[in-house]
Structure 1
Amino acid sequence: TDNIVIAFSGDSATNEGSFHESMNLAAVWNLPVIFFITNNRYGISTDISYSTKIPHLYQRAAAYGIPGHYVEDGNDVIAVYEKMQEVIE
């Protein structure tokens, strides 16, 4: 199938067990999923640096054997579009 799932979440959600379980199962079952994380640098009410050691959350994908990708400015629609095209291909 050519279907792809895009799962949107925020930076704070990446500290939840269900997020990691989802990434693990997607990797183990080789599912066509893109985990799209929006990092506004404030996980609920605190700066993300207080709850996460790595500077870029896309790096978490490596723990599950999933390639991670990064867009510097998520408000740049063209950059996001181009990165999504790259990932989908």
Structure 2
Amino acid sequence: MKISSLQGEFKVIQTIKNRDELLVLGSWKDLVQMFDSSRTFLVNKSESLFGIYLCKQECAEFMNKIIQGIDYHEWEDFKIEKPIYQNQIQA
């Protein structure tokens, strides 16, 4: 899931190994603005992409914090995109 807001651009991915664990990707600036920098790690140096692992509860709190921080001027800039695979019909 991709999240775009004035607080940053994030991508949330569920890990395969642990169903309760989510990987949040974003720029260093965006991630350390929302989370403790000691938990943030480099994912891709050439793209300046960083990540942080969260449990589902922490991710819900993260989403809640983003939504609560939006004032009425920012609603046009806030977007959540569904993953493509959810739109596909499964046999």
**TM-score normalized by the length of structure 1:** 0.26
Q: Identify the structure with bigger relative contact order (alpha carbons < 8 Å, sequence gap 6+).
A: 2
Which protein shows a greater Rg? 2
**TM-score normalized by the length of structure 2:** 0.26
Q: Per residue, is there more helix in 1 or in 2? A: 1
Q: Per residue, is there more strand in 1 or in 2? A: 2
